[in-house]
Amino acid sequence: MEEHPDELPVIEFEVPQPRSWRWWPNPKAAGYQGKVGLLMGIVGAACMIAFSAGILLVLAEAIPARRGTPVAGVSFFGMIIILCLWSCNEFCPSCGARIRGPFSRRAPTWCPACYRLHDAARIGELDLFGLRDWAEHGPIPKFLAITTWLAIAEKCHEIRLEPQEDEYRIFLLRGEETLEMVSPPAFIQFAVAQTAKSIAGLDLKKCDETQQGHIRIKVPRTVETDVVIEPGEFGQKVTFRFGDTASA
């Protein structure tokens, strides 16, 4: 192969930030949408009350217009700013964490709280010659690409990724022999299953039922690979079953 194992890109996983509150609700924590929505609703209601009070006091001639008009104007623009900031946010449909803010250029590939996949573009063929290109997709596709690369290099016929209570175990099956890789962080198990589904063209929303798909891996010959996603006690199990890895 053109790539040498020593030249494989380093995988760095961004650990989710579970703290719900700092000086403000943590946008990278689950439930942020509900918390910040409540706070912005309270501020918006206060602005609306101030706007209405300013207009009514001016109309009733209880205060001069030069005092009531600025209060109403500031309150009105406050409501506009709140609506604009809220409309520019994008939230994770699973946990409510913010995945794109008003000043963000683009949404991240993964939810920072639950690691849900948001870029569901299906990839029909996994080209392991383009590992550096795969590195641009983020740590999870990079992790899957390197894992399958190592499995095919060792002439394995199957990869099993099984989430446990506190770890994420990876087994490579080669004939009657079973090899176990160093366990990656346990929190990536949901993202790995979502990525495998995306590559195989499966339904990302179905997490409680078994799904089977098919992908093609290029190393440089094409290895036909079956993908099985099935629910388990601690999360979704992912299995890759390779065709003829010896010729690849």
For the stretch 18-43, pLDDT in tens is: 677 777 888 888 888 888 889 888 98
**192: how many CB neighbours lie within 10 A of its CB?**
25
pLDDT higher at 223 or 246: 223
- What's 183's DSSP letter? P
Q: Do 217 and 128 meet the contact criterion of CB atoms below 8 Å apart? A: yes
142, with CB counted inside 10 A (0-12, 13-18, 19+), is: buried
Q: Taking each helix axis from N to C terminus, what angle separates 32-59 and 65-87, rounded to the nearest 10 degrees? A: 160
Mean pLDDT of 129-158: 76
- What's 62's DSSP letter? S
Nearest to 236, CA basis, from 127, 205, 180, 146: 205
Nearest to 137, CA basis, from 158, 116, 99, 110: 110
Token readout for 210 is: 């078994």
pLDDT higher at 124 or 205: 205
Mean pLDDT of the chain: 79
- What's 93's DSSP letter? T
**In the chain, % of residues over pLDDT 70:** 79
Token readout for 237 is: 């199990």
